[in-house]
Amino acid sequence: MRADFYSHCLDHPRLSRALESNLYNLSLISSPQIRDNIEKRLALAGSTAEDGLMDSLLADAGSEPGNLALLEHALAQLWQKDGVTRKLLNNTYAKIGRLQGALARHADEVYANLREPEQELARKVFLELVQLGEDAPDTRRLVPMKDLLVLGQSDQVEALLMSLASSRLISTSGVEERRESYVEVSHEALIREWPRLREWMRQNRDELHIRRQLLQTAKDWKAYKKDPADLLLRGGRLETAEAWLSKNPDAPELVRDFIVAGTQARNEAAREKEEAQQRELAREHDLRRAAEEQLAQNYWQRSRSAYASGDDSKALHFAVKAICLAPALRDTLLLDLRDIQSPPCNRSWIMKALLRAPCSVKTRAASSRGVGRLRAFGTPAPDGRLVPPSSIKARFGAPCSVETRAAFSPGVETRLRASGTPGPGGRLV
């Protein structure tokens, strides 16, 4: 186990106790030990290294533990090119880019030999094989092969994986008891030393972080039998997921179903909230309407009482209040006002109250010029005045006596008698 991962084991009590009794520390291998190991391996194969090559290799490797993987790759490249001559050469070492450039150059060569669709698939594969570091360097990530096959057409992805594995950029392994294959990058140094991969990571780090969080949460959601009350995304997290999904139509089906379920749950909650608000508004409206109708009935009774006692002014006053409060009861609250003598202000109130809604109006006007009749349909002007055609003005320009019957429903009429002079535009003043 790598020392930089050892601290993570301490978070698991049983594993921590097991490590205490089974711990053997491997110290950093020294340069003389590295030289001895390489030379003995070459001797077993009947080969040697050109003078100065071992010194160059050890100088480039330095004391960084991560450089051992680069050294391994550089030696493999040297053997692939010089193994047939049984002698590893300094010139070949320079051509492969020495220690730091050998792995990156090899990766670039493999990538350049892929067709354009394969290059895009390769980009997706390598991004999936990197474990994002949280306040730590990025490391390689072991991924089930089935999770990589969904990145494109499964047969094309599988062929690409085999090609990358044969080029020693990735490695595959299997777990027999689980009958599952796994994939990882062959050298973790590839993550650190391949500029193209580092650039991919820089461009896609945020997107990868969101994708993997969504995938893990979606798996938990599925494991908990898709309980929307506990695990579905809400608020800003759901909006972020929806925005991510709109840019990633090739998202895993499980992640897509998970986000859609969150969207549906949010819409259903909004619909239920709207229905509850509408029910509350309707209830408040009914209560207010009932109170207004009760008050209107009270005003109407007071108007009847005033009319019976001969107080026409109060009768008109309370009648207008009743009709204004409860327009829906207008037909049942009509009062025969033909013989009530009232001030002009009360007549204005009556006109505005009784003629608030569209109605059928019959007008009979009598003056020294003769008698005429008019039938009109429509709604009175905003100021409550009747607007007869211009013929009224032509035939009754002088002061006249006018009787108006306004029918608000079949068989029910209200009569209003007034005297005056048609005003500008033929309006009855």
**DSSP of 102-159:** HHHHHHHHHHHTS-HHHHHHHHHHHHHTEEPPSSS--EE--EEHHHHHTTS-HHHHHH
Which of 116-125, 142-151, 152-161, 403-412 is predicted least confidently?
Answer: 403-412
Q: Give the pLDDT confidence score for residue 116 in this predicted structure.
A: 92
Tell me, what's the pLDDT at 102?
Answer: 83
pLDDT at 355: 45
Question: Quick check: 364 pLDDT over 90?
Answer: no
Confidence of residue 308 (pLDDT cuts 50, 70, 90): confident
Most confident of 172-176, 239-243, 329-333, 406-410: 239-243
Question: How high is the pLDDT of residue 319?
Answer: 74
**What b/e string do you get for 96-116 counting C-beta neighbours within 10 Å, with b at 16 or more?**
bbbbebbbbbbbeebbeeeee
Task: State yes or no: pLDDT of 176 exceeds 80.
Answer: no
**Average confidence (pLDDT) over 163-185:** 79
Tell how far CA 254 is from the center of its chain. 17
Q: Per-residue pLDDT for 380 more than 50?
A: no
C-beta separation of 92 from 47 below 8 A:
no
- Compute the average pLDDT of residues 384-409: 43
Residue 309's beta-bridge partner residues? none
Q: Where are the domains of the chain?
A: 3-105, 115-223, 355-426
Domain 115-223 has CATH 1.20.1070: no
Stretch 348-372: mean pLDDT, rounded?
A: 44
Token pair of 299, please? 């005003």
For the cut 70, the answer to whether the pLDDT of residue 334 exceeds it is no
> 190-200: b or e for each residue (b if 16 or more CB lie within 10 Å)?
bbbbbeebbeb
Between residues 357 and 162, the one the model is more confident about: 162
- Name the average pLDDT for the chain: 76
Please indicate whether residue 282 or residue 3 has the higher confidence score (pLDDT). Answer: 282
CA–CA dist 408, 387 (Å, integer):
17
Higher-scoring residue by pLDDT: 38, 219: 38
Q: What is the pLDDT of residues 212-221, one digit of tens each?
A: 888 888 888 8
Determine the pLDDT at residue 373: 41
Of residues 231, 259, 226, the one with CA closest to residue 245: 259
**Which pair of structure tokens corresponds to residue 269?**
């909650």
Q: Average pLDDT of 81-93? A: 89
**Torsion region of 287: left, alpha or beta (phi above 0 gives left; psi -120 to 50 gives alpha):** alpha
Instruction: Give the model's confidence band at 152: pLDDT under 50 very low, under 70 low, under 90 confident, else very high.
Output: confident
More confident residue, 429 or 174: 174
CB 261 within 8 Å of CB 229: no
